[in-house]
Amino acid sequence: MTKIMKTSHLRTQLRFRPLIIAAGIVLASIASAQTFGGNGFNRVNPTNEIITSKTHLIVSFKNSASQTFRKSLVQRYGLQINESRSNAYFTRLELNGQHINAGLTADAFVRELSNNPAVNFAELDVQITPDFTPNDPRYAQQWHLNNTGQTGGVPDADIDAPEAWDKFTGVQETVVAVCDDGVDIDHEDLAPAMWQNPNEIPNNGIDDDMNGFVDDIFGWDTASNDNNPRPVGGASHGTHVAGITAGAHNNGKGISGVGPTVKIMAMRHYAGQGSWMSDLAKAIDYAWQNGANVITVSYNIDGWNQNLLQAVQRAGAADVVYLNSAGNNNQQNPPRMAMRDLTDNLIFVASTDQNDNRSGFSNWGSKIEVGAPGSNIMSTLLGNAYGNQSGTSMATPLAAGVVAVIRGKFPSMTAREALDHLIATSDEVPSLTSTIPGGKRVNLSNALGAPVGPTAFKSMTVIMGTWTGGDLTSVGDSDDNRVTINSAGVSGRGEYAVVEFVLDSPRTNLDINSMKLDIESASNLAGATQFVTAYNTVTGKWDTLSSTRLGTIDGKLTVNVSKLTLAQYVDATTQEVKVRLQAYMPVRRRGAAPVSFTYSIDEITPQIN
């Protein structure tokens, strides 16, 4: 058995024996839990095994630590710097044969180096795997762009791509970095869409743009550290992803991608089993440093670590959007979702099918903010071939293509604003509301519409009952200030309290995409029913949008207005929308007098896009 020594004694010994790292360095102090640096990150994935590195680790040094000090510290432990798998933000350190023979693993050095004042963090690298499911050759059409029911699905359960392409003017070129297992840059449907480094002269063996990468014409391979981001062997995942985002348009070949003006930066970070999250982090850093507007990643990052998080945050600081697949475990709130609270340039994408339902394999949760078609998606494969693949891996590049178009149409938008616009202009699909916040499924045509301001109230009028408190400012937020109305009786029928709101629509009746009302209200007596109605400018009648039983404490209600009648509620001349909230208490028994009640509205938030 290896003798266990105290850390202080060990440090003294290591100064004199840098290549013979005593096994006692950590065997007594390694816990069975997974430790990520000195910041207390312990994460367990309940459904997927997270595999961490045994023979290398990741270290981020403080800027104050000189290169000389860093090298001497590393040599003190007998570790080796892997220059080709490191960058300016992190260093990959490799164990040697003596460490391994002594029974030491990388987590020993993570614990030791985490306590060094010159180190920001030290952590284990995490093995990365793709998020995708097998091909399904039964589907051979791009229903996700224009669903006519050709695959047996629901017509219009798509992203309205043809409608968008008809008005595709003024959209600037944007670059999406596809971080994956490589891209077949010679494919007939991808070659015209490939980004090319404008500051690099091909094949001259010189780093012309002095970015640290020689002859990086189409991107970079961080897994092999070379300038050839093409796939190796039969790997086709990245090629399929790239075609979804930016397959060439109107070239008489194969398929069409989402955006005619989108270019693909090819980043190969995955080289099969044994690929590491640090290679993805390095790919992210290359992308934002070299002109990408959007980064799309379709890989399992449930075991995310500090190194990956900081790479995404650096992209955010450079105003670059990062999209990641939600995952294919049919799991609610997967571990990767926690990253959303730590950086605002990130969005996770769920998968939907041709019936506008969540794909059976797709993860979902409170921070997975949009869905996109991902079941049986046709796109490019190796060697000028085409085929179907399914997964959130397919949904994510589709959403990335929409974000890229948004950034090309509205170049002044920040990364966060572009994501907010993506969410705001997504279709609100009732069948998705239980798994995706607001039931949001991306819509390319809607995304081309100019962003609108908040829907404003113009007036509030009590139609029936007695107004006893509150005004328009009371219902604009959930601060417990409220409008209260005492009901008025109608003989033989019951008690009524009715209030009308006139809204100022930010869109005309010709370009309205969606209307939603969030209402928080109550009655002081049980038994009242609330009706939400809207004035139909075509029929001249009040259409009932919702009817629900009121409680005696505030209840929240969301009303999504049908797309079929949206335009009829917006006045063609004034752009006004009239909405009435009506609370009704029936006569409880024949001949009895109506029982009066108080109707209170704490909040009504209209959203018209």
Residue holding tokens 């997270």?
A: 50
By the 10 Å C-beta count (0-12 exposed, 13-18 middle, 19+ buried), 176 is classed as buried
Task: Give the CA count within 13 Å in the CB-facing half-sphere of 271.
Answer: 14
DSSP structure class, residue 595? P
Q: Buried (b) or exposed (e) across 27-54, using 16+ Cβ within 10 A? A: beeeeeebbbbbeeeebebeeeebbbbe
Q: Which of 56, 237, 240, 421 is catalytic?
A: 237
Q: Is the C-alpha dihedral spanning 211, 213, 219, 223 positive or negative?
A: negative
Output the furthest CA–CA distance in the chain (Å, rounded): 101
In angstroms, what is the C-alpha Rg of the chain?
A: 29
Token couple for 505 = 């629509």
Measure the CA–CA gap between 262 and 406, rounded to whole angstroms: 11
Measure the CA–CA gap between 173 and 409, rounded to whole angstroms: 9
Amino acid at 575: Q
Phi and psi, residue 108, nearest 5°:
-60, -45
Q: Which of 256, 278, 390, 393 is catalytic?
A: 393
Active site residue 180: yes
Q: Which of 180, 184, 285, 602 is catalytic?
A: 180
Q: Tell me which residue of 474, 463, 459, 453 sits closest to 576, measured CA to CA.
A: 459
**Residue 38 near residue 123 (C-beta atoms within 8 A):** no
Helix (H, G, I), strand (E, B) or coil at 11: helix
Q: Buried (b) or exposed (e) across 458-468, using 16+ Cβ within 10 A? A: eebebebbeee
Active site residue 269: no
Active site residue 426: no
Measure the CA–CA gap between 93 and 245, rounded to whole angstroms: 36
Q: Tell me which residue of 361, 340, 598 sits closest to 467, measured CA to CA.
A: 598
Measure Cα distances from 379 to 143, 251, 317, 392, 442 in Å. Answer: 11, 15, 32, 14, 18
Measure the CA–CA gap between 350 and 111, rounded to whole angstroms: 36
Q: Residues with catalytic annotation?
A: 180, 237, 393
